[in-house]
Chains A and B, each alone.
Chain A
Amino acid sequence: MQVELTLQAPPGSDYSARDLGHLLHKHPDRVHVRDAGTGCLTVFFAQKSDAETRAILHLDVDPVALVRGREGRRGGPGEGLFGQYVNDRPYAANSLLSVALGRGIGQALAGRSKERQALAERALPFELRVTPLAVHGDAALITRLFAPLGYGVEAIPLGETGLRAVFDLKLTITARLCDILGHLSVLIPVLDDAKHYWVDDTEIDKLVARAGDWLERHPARELITRRALKHRRDLVADALARLDLSALDEDAVAPPAEEGAMEGAREAGAAGRGASIRLHDQRLDAVAAIIAESGARSVLDLGCGEGRLIRRLAAQAGISRILGIDPSRRALEAAAARLRLDEADERMRERVRLQAGSLTYGDRRWRGFDAATLVEVIEHIDPARLPALEAGLFGDARPGIVVVTTPDRAYNAAFAGMDPGALRHDDHRFEWDRAEFAAWAGRVADRFGYGFEIRPLGPVDPVHGAPSQLALFTREVGA
């Protein structure tokens, strides 16, 4: 990957373009090679005239060290993509380049020049080229980030574009060199959206130092902050506070889709995250009320996720036993933390248990409960595997009542900006309308000896109905 930096000195300028060597602290007649941590940074000059001088900064990343670490120990600095030798890290501009710039031309980045300090503090006409540049997104994103800072932007896609694309980026601007380098070192990793190192709160300091004076006025500041801090919500909030951006749309810190595993990410996207949270709270309150009304003393919460329903149930005095089941270990850890099970007294720990489990397997630990709840869960199961859930829950465990909630597809039209036919969440395997849900509930009730009723769930829209629907199954006496 490389950055090409061209300084122009139009006729009549009071400086020579060759002064670029002074600004970069690199002699234009030499080749400068420097170990930049993750690879080798070579700086040389491809054109040297008083009118136009071009510096080439080429970073040659060691692909083996990236995976194995520099001393050949197991595990390189990165995880995920970095655990693979086949990735664009060694070749396309990304956070490795930012680090290399810091090491290779740190003085210039800081705005210092031994011989031409006055020039370093002046806005000068530059042309830049960054190639290849890895982008998580499209050309419009590049423009969205650079244009507000005064750049002329030309981004040429290389090869296919898709979720990840590679660009040849050309920029023009008249600005101080240190500002340009600051923009690049912040925005290149933001475009790439995958930092090669672990991000912690010292990252906020770096961000504030390099972008403090322009980020707060940048229209895409939330996106930049979020990506620069690797989507760590806690850090983002902190950083935005330090950048004095308190008037912030909550949407900006919404988690990426995979984090909200059991909740409708598109509900968040379409209706705003705050609205989505309120909707989910309403669902949980409604289910908790049904459980309270039923007089159930033991409750099995299938797909308990982070334990939001369990927290409500644990507050009900009549309930002496709650078992939360979720296939995801991460969700169970989050639930244990949310419920503070570690610090709870013995009585609470006895009442509330969390266990790994699967809804497409039966489970003998599910037997003997008064009630079972599946809140926005069944739509995450392949329709072909639903019979296994039915047999395990209604056939084998046979709780006294079962509460099932699921989105009502008819309501999707009420979400602005949602494509017709799209589902509310990437992991939803189906979304039923009222007739489909009722048909399923009827079949299950009939086969396993349960009665059932169906209710709308959530605020009812006069046209589209309620966002979710709820079925309450009651085991028939003697069945």
Chain B
Amino acid sequence: MKITIPDFALVLLIGPTGAGKSQFARRHFRETEVIASDHCRALVADDEADQSATEDAFAVLEAIAGRRLKRRRFTVIDATSVRREDRARLVALARRHHALPVPLVLDIDPQICAARNEARPDRAFGAHVPHNHAKALRRDLRNLGKEGFRHIHVLRTPQEVDAVEITRVPLWTDQRHDHGPFDMIGDVHGCFDELTALLDALGYQRDPYAPGESLMGARHPDGRRAFFVGDLTDRGPRNVDCLRLVMGMCAQGQARCVIGNHDFKLSKWLRGRKVKLDHGLDGTVAELEACSPEFRAKVADFIDGLLSHAWLADGALVVAHAGLKEEMHGRGSAALRSFAMFGETTGETDEAGLPVRLDWVRDYRGDTEIVYGHIPVAQAQWRNNTLCIDTGCVFGGALTALRWPERAMVSVPAAREYAPPLRPLRSPGPDGADGVVLPEAAPDDAGLLFFDDFARKQRIQTRLGASVTIPEENALAALEILSRFGIDPRWLIHLPPTMAAPPTAHDGSYLEHPDQALAYYARQGGGPVIVEEKHMGSRALIVVARDAGAAARRFGVTDGRAGVVHTRTGRAFFADTALEAQVVARIAAAVVTAGLWDELATDWLLLDAEIMPWSGKAQDLLARQYRPTATAAQVSAQALLEAIAAADDPDELQELRARAQSRKANAEAMQRTLAGYCWEADTIDAWRIAPFHLLAVEGRVLTAQPHHWHMQTLAGLCAQDPILRETGWQVIDPASASEREAVVAWWERHTAQGGEGLVIKPDAFIVQDGARLVQPAMKVRGRDYLRLVYGPDYDMPDNLVRLRQRALNRKNSLAEREFRLGLEGLERFVARRSLREVHACALGVLALESEPVDPRL
């Protein structure tokens, strides 16, 4: 006997004690799939046969089964389950998780059972027990169907039991093997003209129209398929034609379709059930009544064959008429079917007499993209990875299609309003809040993120290898910083990673030197490296859009700004918003004259830059820390030298004087270095902005471009405006001794003139070494610059020898994790993932920054 069971189900092995259930389970199921009541009794009472432990044992059994079902694992219950009330609890459990309950009944002669039990020392409960079990079971067997089971399998003899073969098949809704590509089409509602226009626009070749009842086809030359989200008929002018076309396309494998509430009601009418002919069904019925009974039967069969939803493309996509909660994907239950057709309502109605809907999208947190229709919206917009593409064609809106996986939208406006809208089509706010009971979707709910989504330990899967873990403590610290000082999170699509420090120089009077960094990259064998001048200013991320309208469209921020400048911790870079707007406008103008909007096919871009002077941003640090230190160091050494000059000059004082002299020189070097980084910046023209990464544009994170492309492209930008400062660079082969020497010479020259240092990176933006990344960048800071980090006297020999003991691993591991996380955030943003998923990465980088790492590295 062959038995077919869905590969996601709650299987109940039913039968008297001794029927051979456990043996059966061992033969057909994996050990971890089977939860046996005896085992659970032993778990809670150390005795499989302790009947007093039954209640606790079943609590454990249901808890385990529930967790497995929640995780969509195939689960088998090995308990007698001969009593109706025992089965009812398991059926309810299955329903809660939208799993099919499947009974497998071992209806074995109780005498055989008793004999088996007698042979086992642990089952000393007498022959009457299997007899009572069998009696109870047989009383209910006939009515098992009424208990909520659909597929019932009964095995009556040991021979039958032995001969069984079990095959597992996917649920109908499990279409994970189907990867598209699809053109998903919103609620058609009998708008045949718009449907054909849309199919034409999408590139389908349609059969010529012929009047009558024959089905019509349409195929796409590239093998794409249409995917209808349901509600094919009602209210519109040409319902039967719509059915003929969609049914024809589906029959030929050119389209797929899920069921909508209107389709469901139509099928009820077609099956002769009494339904109220309202909400446009009357028009469809009138058309169908003029058709042949054969055609009507075809329609009824077609609708009966429609799935509640389709779980597609390895779980990346779900299509359902009214959407679907995450815990329902790829499952099956009556509640699920109802949700997929009608959505979730509170049972109340609003002032227009329409059901008040619960906003399931607001709380949707899944990675799976969900495409649905059902509630007409003025404009299709992604929100938490879901997209409603019902743009109310029949109400005079438009018929919209989404190309998937490309995520491009194609729309055809309605020729006219076929039915009055039930309520005005709402233009959704930038986060697309629709179907909520708010009187009007406020434009400002945009950017509403939920604290409880982030205030916990998180693991963020990144495209560049392993996931990154954010501890809860760090996440909370980052949330506090962002909530007190952060800019609007919709602008905050990226926070930059910290940069690795090079292995410490071990001889000479250096703490850092290009030799070590170049040797590191030569060892990694990641190809040529780029060496760039490092500016001493403040790090800034600059988002620039073509204009405020472009910013509003892409970032959803409607405050009239066309871009922002923010720091590496997500604060506004300029306290003065007018200055910020000026900077953004100047850069946007430079982008225009450099021709970058067109060259990059975008109307926004993200720059990673250093903004100078340092004093412009670090006034407070300078006043409280750097200047007093340099002054005090200088004065202290000077005063000592003067005192020594006034004293007789014993040998001991000579040594003290030599020391004071070098301290004085160090302090003066620090003062000189500081002075080079400070100037008045009271007008915009005094600022210098040095962009060094062109990180992202519409649709692309530009990490496939090598660094020298970034430098060349940005040089073109910098040439347009004197506030933009070009960065010096060269690409070299780290394996070549002469090229390395040239870098060292450059570094010495550059830092002797007060430059901070050089940055060395693999020219290819990302170089992977198995699961690890080759450090994406390493800074080599100059001798005098390091006085601002380690103090003026850091390079005195007895100090240097101790400072060389510095632990780099943590810093460098952090740099790698932050780099992966930062780019992941950008990838998510350009792929139009939800704000929450983008924000998680930016927040993650900030959270990692709160790890205790030597701040001087």
In the assembled complex, the CB of A260 is this many whole angstroms from the nearest CB of chain B, namely 16
Give B429-461 interface residues, CB cut-off 8 Å to A: 437-440, 442, 444-452, 454-455
Contact of B445 among A87, A90, A391 (CB under 8 A): A391
Q: How far is the CA of A44 from the CA of B644 in the complex (A)?
A: 9
Chain A, residues 34-47, CB within 8 Å of chain B (1/0): the string is 00000000101111
Are A2 and B652 interface neighbours, CB within 8 A?
no
Chain B, residues 828-857, CB within 8 Å of chain A (1/0): the string is 000000000000000000000000000110
Q: How far is the CA of A289 from the CA of B676 in the complex (A)?
A: 60
Question: Is residue A138 within 8 Å, beta carbon to beta carbon, of the partner chain?
Answer: no
Question: Is residue A449 within 8 Å, beta carbon to beta carbon, of the partner chain?
Answer: yes
Stretch with Cβ within 8 A of A (4 or more), from B277-285, B309-317, B477-485, B716-724: B477-485
Question: Is residue B771 within 8 Å, beta carbon to beta carbon, of the partner chain?
Answer: no
Q: How far is the CA of A64 from the CA of B789 in the complex (A)?
A: 12
Stretch with Cβ within 8 A of B (4 or more), from A143-151, A178-186, A352-360: A352-360
Q: How far is the CA of A164 from the CA of B623 in the complex (A)?
A: 7
Are B625 and A84 interface neighbours, CB within 8 A?
yes
Q: How far is the CA of A267 from the CA of B651 in the complex (A)?
A: 61
Contact of A388 among B363, B448, B630, B789 (CB under 8 A): B448
Q: How far is the CA of A327 from the CA of B650 in the complex (A)?
A: 62
Contact of A85 among B451, B646, B791 (CB under 8 A): B791
- Chain A neighbourhood of B628, CB < 8 A: 88, 92, 134, 159, 164-166
- Chain A neighbourhood of B633, CB < 8 A: 88, 90-91
Known: A162-B623, A364-B452. A90 touches B442 (CB 8 A): no
- Chain B neighbourhood of A384, CB < 8 A: 487-488, 559
Are A92 and B636 interface neighbours, CB within 8 A?
yes
Stretch with Cβ within 8 A of A (4 or more), from B93-101, B369-377, B762-770, B799-807: B799-807
- Chain A neighbourhood of B627, CB < 8 A: 159-160
In the assembled complex, the CB of B665 is this many whole angstroms from the nearest CB of chain A, namely 14
Q: How large is the interface on A (under 10, 10 to 19, 20 to 34, 35 or more residues)?
A: 35 or more
Contact of A86 among B445, B631, B791 (CB under 8 A): B791
In the assembled complex, the CB of A3 is this many whole angstroms from the nearest CB of chain B, namely 10
Q: Which residue of B lies closest to A157 (CB)?
A: B631
Question: Is residue B632 within 8 Å, beta carbon to beta carbon, of the partner chain?
Answer: yes
Known: A42-B656, A63-B799, A90-B791. A58 touches B629 (CB 8 A): no
Q: How far is the CA of A98 from the CA of B650 in the complex (A)?
A: 27
- Chain B neighbourhood of A327, CB < 8 A: 479-480, 483-484
- Chain B neighbourhood of A364, CB < 8 A: 363, 450, 452
Are B448 and A132 interface neighbours, CB within 8 A?
no
For the residues of A in contact with B, the DSSP-based class is mixed
Question: Is residue B626 within 8 Å, beta carbon to beta carbon, of the partner chain?
Answer: yes
Chain A, residues 265-277, CB within 8 Å of chain B (1/0): the string is 0000000000000
- Chain A neighbourhood of B442, CB < 8 A: 390-391, 395, 447-448
Give A83-119 interface residues, CB cut-off 8 Å to B: 83-88, 90-92
Question: Is residue A362 within 8 Å, beta carbon to beta carbon, of the partner chain?
Answer: yes
- Chain A neighbourhood of B802, CB < 8 A: 64, 68, 72
Q: How far is the CA of A72 from the CA of B631 in the complex (A)?
A: 27
Question: Is residue B476 within 8 Å, beta carbon to beta carbon, of the partner chain?
Answer: yes
- Chain A neighbourhood of B632, CB < 8 A: 1, 88, 91-92, 132, 134, 158, 166
Question: Is residue B2 within 8 Å, beta carbon to beta carbon, of the partner chain?
Answer: no
Are B624 and A1 interface neighbours, CB within 8 A?
no
In the assembled complex, the CB of B656 is this many whole angstroms from the nearest CB of chain A, namely 6
Question: Is residue A479 within 8 Å, beta carbon to beta carbon, of the partner chain?
Answer: yes
Q: How far is the CA of A363 from the CA of B363 in the complex (A)?
A: 11
Q: Which residue of B lies closest to A65 (CB)?
A: B802
In the assembled complex, the CB of A62 is this many whole angstroms from the nearest CB of chain B, namely 8
Q: How far is the CA of A42 from the CA of B632 in the complex (A)?
A: 18
Are B444 and A85 interface neighbours, CB within 8 A?
no
Are A448 and B438 interface neighbours, CB within 8 A?
yes
In the assembled complex, the CB of A471 is this many whole angstroms from the nearest CB of chain B, namely 18
Are A56 and B625 interface neighbours, CB within 8 A?
no
Chain A, residues 220-253, CB within 8 Å of chain B (1/0): the string is 0000000000000000000000000000000000
Contact of B640 among A58, A164, A448, A449 (CB under 8 A): A58
Q: Which residue of B lies closest to A328 (CB)?
A: B480
- Chain A neighbourhood of B623, CB < 8 A: 160, 162-164
Question: Is residue B794 within 8 Å, beta carbon to beta carbon, of the partner chain?
Answer: yes
Are A357 and B451 interface neighbours, CB within 8 A?
yes
Are A388 and B629 interface neighbours, CB within 8 A?
no
Q: Which residue of A lies closest to B484 (CB)?
A: A327
Question: Is residue A334 within 8 Å, beta carbon to beta carbon, of the partner chain?
Answer: no
Known: A132-B631, A395-B438. A86 touches B647 (CB 8 A): no
Question: Is residue A431 within 8 Å, beta carbon to beta carbon, of the partner chain?
Answer: no
Interface centre among B454, B652, B659, B787 (most CB of A within 10 A): B652
Contact of A162 among B444, B624, B646 (CB under 8 A): B624
Are A86 and B789 interface neighbours, CB within 8 A?
yes
Question: Is residue B788 within 8 Å, beta carbon to beta carbon, of the partner chain?
Answer: yes
Question: Is residue A333 within 8 Å, beta carbon to beta carbon, of the partner chain?
Answer: no
Question: Is residue B818 within 8 Å, beta carbon to beta carbon, of the partner chain?
Answer: no
Question: Is residue A197 within 8 Å, beta carbon to beta carbon, of the partner chain?
Answer: no
Give B631-646 interface residues, CB cut-off 8 Å to A: 631-633, 635-636, 639-640, 643-644, 646
In the assembled complex, the CB of B801 is this many whole angstroms from the nearest CB of chain A, namely 9
Q: Which residue of A lies closest to B433 (CB)?
A: A395
Q: Which residue of B lies closest to A390 (CB)?
A: B444
17 example contacts (A-B, Cβ-Cβ < 8 A) are as follows: A58-B643, A64-B803, A86-B629, A86-B788, A90-B791, A158-B631, A168-B635, A328-B480, A357-B451, A358-B479, A358-B482, A358-B483, A362-B451, A365-B452, A384-B488, A395-B442, A395-B448
Q: Which residues does A use to contact B, with CB under 8 Å?
A: 1-2, 4, 29-31, 33, 42, 44-47, 54, 56, 58, 60, 63-64, 68, 72, 81, 83-88, 90-92, 131-132, 134, 158-160, 162-166, 168, 327-329, 356-365, 380, 384-385, 387-388, 390-392, 395-396, 447-449, 478-479
Q: Which residues does B use to contact A, with CB under 8 Å?
A: 351, 362-363, 437-440, 442, 444-452, 454-455, 476, 479-480, 482-484, 486-488, 559, 623-633, 635-636, 639-640, 643-644, 646-648, 650, 652-653, 656, 659, 787-791, 793-794, 799, 802-803, 805, 855-856
- In order of increasing CB-CB distance, the 7 nearest A-B pairs are A358-B483, A387-B444, A91-B632, A159-B631, A85-B791, A361-B451, A92-B632
Known: A81-B625, A90-B791. 10 other contacts (CB 8 A): A4-B643, A63-B793, A72-B805, A84-B855, A87-B791, A91-B632, A159-B631, A385-B488, A391-B444, A478-B351
